[in-house]
Amino acid sequence: MAGDSVDEAKLKGLSKIFNSETMRGRANVAKATYAGIGLLILYFSLKPSKK
Cα–Cα distance, 47 to 10 (Å, whole number):
43
Q: Of 13, 11, 30, 31, which is closest to residue 21 (Cα–Cα)? A: 11
Which DSSP category does 9 fall into? G
Q: Is a pLDDT exceeding 60 seen at residue 1?
A: no
Q: Is a pLDDT exceeding 80 seen at residue 44?
A: yes
pLDDT of residue 13: 82
Cα–Cα distance, 22 to 1 (Å, whole number):
9
Residue length of the chain: 51
Rounded to two decimals, the pTM is 0.71
Q: Is a pLDDT exceeding 60 seen at residue 3?
A: no
pLDDT of residue 45: 94
How do residues 5-38 score in pLDDT, each as one tens digit?
667 777 788 888 888 888 888 999 999 999 999 9
Burial of 10-25, coded b for 16+ CB within 10 Å and e otherwise, reads: ebeeeeeeebebbeeb
